Amino acid sequence: MENKMLVVTTENIPGRKYEVIGDVFGVTTQSKNFASDFGAGLKSMIGGEIKAYTKMLKESREVALDRLREEAEGVGADAVVMMRFDSGSIGGDMQSVVAYGTAVKFVD
């Protein structure tokens, strides 16, 4: 298993002291193909989960988080604290997801 940088949603990492480097971001924008969009349109008429879009959003969060880690590594961080996700639609067929947080360097 790959050793991934620690990313937490909390302000503190128990037992660790650190100095703040600064904000880091990971962004992705994705869309589904015509067949998925057509299926989603049909599903919206009868209700229920649109699994293709759920899968797309899950994958988008993973990509955004990987890019956040890459940016944090690029600035010499040991971890990211206060990580959050945000998302929004672009047009009618695209979804943008951003992972953001504060890059930190351990001092202990």
User: Could you tell me the CATH number of the domain that includes residue 69?
Assistant: 3.30.110.70
Residue 10 belongs to domain spanning = 6-106
Of 17-26, 30-39, 43-52, 67-76, give the lowest mean pLDDT range. Answer: 30-39
- Distance between CA atoms of residues 12 and 2, nearest Å: 24
Q: In this structure, is residue 53 part of a structural domain?
A: yes
- Cβ(93)–Cβ(50) under 8 Å? no
Provide the number of structural domains found in the chain.
Answer: 1
Q: Is the pTM of this model over 0.85?
A: no
Predicted local confidence at residue 3, as pLDDT: 64
Q: Taking 60 as the threshold, does the pLDDT of residue 72 lie above it?
A: yes
12: helix, strand or coil:
coil
Higher pLDDT, 90 or 63: 63
Q: In this structure, is residue 73 part of a structural domain?
A: yes
Q: Taking 60 as the threshold, does the pLDDT of residue 17 lie above it?
A: yes
Q: In this structure, is residue 13 part of a structural domain?
A: yes
Q: In this structure, is residue 1 part of a structural domain?
A: no
Q: In this structure, is residue 90 part of a structural domain?
A: yes
For residue 30, the tally of other CB atoms under 10 A from its CB is: 17
